[in-house]
Amino acid sequence: MSRLFIGFFMAFIVLPSLAMAQRSFEDGVNLLKKGEIQQAKSILLEYKEKEEAIDLLGDIASFNKNWDKAIEFYRDLVDRDPDSAEYNFKLGGALGMKALEGSKFQAALLVPEMKKSLLTAAELDPQHVEVRRVLVEFYMQIPSLLGGGKNAAMEYVKELEEINKVEAHLARAYIYKTQEESEAFQEEIGKAITVAVSNPGLVARNHVNYELGERAAVLNIYPDKASGFLERYIADYGYKDLESPAFAYLHLARIEASQNNREEALKNINLALNHKVVFPEAEKEKMRILQM
């Protein structure tokens, strides 16, 4: 075997690995922004010593609903920077999601750390909207013996009123929904939509676009505004959004169907099914649309 061939063969093996080693942290971030999540993850794992990489890896784990891994990353971040409101919030959120999806026994074990993380985040950042939204839901779900209930939740609604009125209306709507006060729930959703339309800058998180659109679609109110919110959610969808665009397309299909726009409804329901292959709810809706 000639030295030339051996040299070529070794170059064939070594050069790809050198190229892999040259992938920068910024390459991973850019891939993540483009939605190429798995490719981004493989690069970011090479930079696990960087705080920013751990943060993004936690977000990717959350996007994939791998709560154990997300908790692992976020705990690491809180250990490194216990005074970060965002890290405490993310840890509390991941713990909360794991608690929701696990057994009651498992949830009971997670609640103390979750509560501590969320309250720490709220204390560290008086303007943090997301943690206050989560705390409203948290206090409405835990028993009064553990400090839960409407009064505790309303304290954070009051704080949201000073920070972001759209989020405040949505938080109050959640309280009414939990208490099965349907008229009050619908009234708050209507107020949230009205404020969001007149002050679009208050829709600072893409998830709020989904929340407004989904609530309006379910209540069958403001169809044009609901469609606008859902379309913006789909257009801006990224790794920080936990609701698949499939659900946004499903609601768009239902809005169009409610207005007897059969072709548009069918187009959107097919897009929903393209995003989520196993989707019985969308299959059922498609059958209903086809019968229009």
% of the chain residues with pLDDT over 90? 80
Predicted local distance difference test score (pLDDT) of residue 236 = 95
Confidence of residue 242 (pLDDT cuts 50, 70, 90): confident
Who contacts 148 (Cβ-Cβ below 8 Å, separation ≥6)?
A: 138, 139, 140, 141, 142
**Residues 171-190, mean pLDDT to the nearest whole number:** 97
pTM, rounded to two decimals: 0.86
CB 217 within 8 A of CB 254: yes
